[in-house]
Amino acid sequence: MPTLKLTQAAVERLKPPVTGRLEYWDSQLPGFGLRIAAPRQGKPARRTWQVFVGVKVAGKRQMVRETLGTMAEIANVAEAREKARLSMAKARAGTNPVAEKRQIEAERIALEEAEQKRRENTLGAVIERYLAERPTLDSKGRPLASEYLAEIARTLRRDVVKSALGEKPANEVTRGEIRDLLADIVDRGRGGQANHLLSYLRTALKWAVDERLVSENVTAGIKPPAPKFERERALEDVEIKLFWRACEEIGWPFGPFGQLLLLLGCRRDELADATWGEFDRQDKKVWTLPGSRAKNRRPLITHLPQIAIEIVNRLPRIASVKDYVFTTGLTAGANPVTGFGRARENLIANMRQSTEVEWFTWHDLRRTQATGLASLGVAPHVIDKIQNHSTGKISGIQRIYNRFEYLPERKAALDAWAAHVAKLVGRNVVKLPTRA
């Protein structure tokens, strides 16, 4: 180990070894030196300042090597020598400069990792994790509808994840920013959507708090940004005619699907998840909805008017284990139909080719049937039975003891409604495009 007076000129004249490394020690400050490693893989020789200091380790005093830095970091010999003196002084005072440096480096790395985690744990990232890991059962253990889950995902991604707020660290999002986001949606004429977004986001952040992804649910205390109102949209007769024609033109699967919703007044997902085994088209001519799939857990027998039977008979039957009536996608027959939002928009766009049509939902078809039945003179309690409402117009003790299902009245009502629709749209009601 060569010893020499380490001056600036002397250090710059030192040649690196061909292999391995050489250590040069300072004659002016014993224990202070320069280590030079041979060039490797096209990289220049590495020159590193170092110092030996005496410290106590496990109660025993021993010499430890401390790396002060490279010449690229500390170019001046005098500066490197001064750092060595400071380390020696710390060691004499009882401080282990090597352990101290390691602790400082560990704290620096921890701070960087925390900062990186903070930047990565954005509101958008939290929502994406929620969508991937969220519960798919309701509070009663029943599976949530796939289309409902898809609507939540679409809303959160469109209005939050893809917004500027989605890129902000989740724990730094404020209630004021959430309110501003909702207010902007309301200003664009989407008050109902803003209310839904608040509900979806509140549930997502409650889950995130439970998973310790965020410290608090900043939606707590935020009131719905738009007034709530009960929808009363029902298609008028002229709209029914346009709707039926649009269904014929778009064909399988949403054409006949929409027509059956209008005729039978069932809930969208009840028909979407229907299987062929639930339909009796020959003898009883009914569709039996099992209680396990009904919203109120009560089974429902629905009479099939002749028009409905003709529509069902024209549907393609795709062999599969689950035997769904309406299917889409590459796994046709294995999964129920999806894509309701786009299909509804296509129907409305087709209807608007003839005249301006107000926006409506699939559920509005159910309301259209109820409104139409009432206009035909059907009693309210019969309409309630047709639509399988949990509570009907029969109240109190009468509702408890009246278990009569009104099957003849329901059959007559559905036949009358089908006849009314047939009269509106003409005798071409069964001329539906079929799937090849």
Burial class (CB in 10 A: 0-12, 13-18, 19+), 169: middle
Q: Where are the beta strands (DSSP E) in 217-331?
A: 279-280, 286-289, 300-303
d(CA 1, CA 8): 19
Closest CA to 351 of 330, 372, 365, 333: 365
Give alpha helix (H) positions in 93-232: 97-120, 123-133, 146-156, 175-187, 191-210
Q: Give the model confidence (pLDDT) of 334-343 as tens digits.
A: 788 888 888 9
Q: Calculate what percentage of the chain has a pLDDT beyond 70.
A: 89
Q: What is the pLDDT of the chain when averaged over all its residues?
A: 86
Q: What is the pTM of this model?
A: 0.52
**Taking 80 as the threshold, does the pLDDT of residue 140 lie above it?**
no
Residue, of 197 and 333, whose pLDDT is higher = 197
Is 357:351 a contact under the CB 8 Å cutoff? yes
Q: Which helix (H) or strand (E) holds 3?
A: strand 3-4
CATH no., domain 237-425: 1.10.443.10
Q: What per-residue confidence (pLDDT) applies to 427? A: 59
What angle, rounded to 10 degrees, do the helices at 77-92 and 97-120 form? Answer: 110
Q: What per-residue confidence (pLDDT) applies to 91? A: 86
Q: Calculate what percentage of the chain has a pLDDT beyond 90.
A: 59
Residue keyed to tokens 């778009």: 250
Range with the lowest mean pLDDT among 59-73, 104-118, 140-154, 225-239? 104-118
**Taking 60 as the threshold, does the pLDDT of residue 291 lie above it?**
yes
Q: Where are the beta strands (DSSP E) in 297-375?
A: 300-303
Closest CA to 311 of 146, 408, 147, 425: 425
Is 315:256 a contact under the CB 8 Å cutoff? yes
Is 225:179 a contact under the CB 8 Å cutoff? yes
Is 275:323 a contact under the CB 8 Å cutoff? yes
* Overall average pLDDT of the 270-299 stretch: 91
Q: Give the model confidence (pLDDT) of 396-405 as tens digits.
A: 434 443 456 8
Bridge-based pairing of strands 60-70 and 279-280 is unpaired
How is the chain split among helix, strand and coil, in percent rounded to 5? 50, 15, 40
Q: Give the model confidence (pLDDT) of 325-379 as tens digits.
A: 998 755 555 788 888 888 998 999 999 998 888 878 899 999 999 999 999 999 9
Q: Give the model confidence (pLDDT) of 172-190 as tens digits.
A: 999 999 999 999 988 887 8
Q: How many residues does the chain have?
A: 436
| Residue 128 in tokens | 């994406």
**Taking 60 as the threshold, does the pLDDT of residue 391 lie above it?**
no
> In DSSP terms, which residues pair with 137 in a beta bridge?
143
Residue 115 confidence class, pLDDT cut points 50, 70, 90: low
Dihedral pair phi/psi, residue 392, rounded to 5° = -120, -165
Helix (H, G, I), strand (E, B) or coil at 363: helix
Residue 98 confidence class, pLDDT cut points 50, 70, 90: confident
Domain 123-210 in CATH 3.40.50.300? The answer is no
Q: What per-residue confidence (pLDDT) applies to 144? A: 77
User: What is the gyration radius of the CA atoms in the chain, in angstroms?
Assistant: 38
Q: What per-residue confidence (pLDDT) applies to 328? A: 72
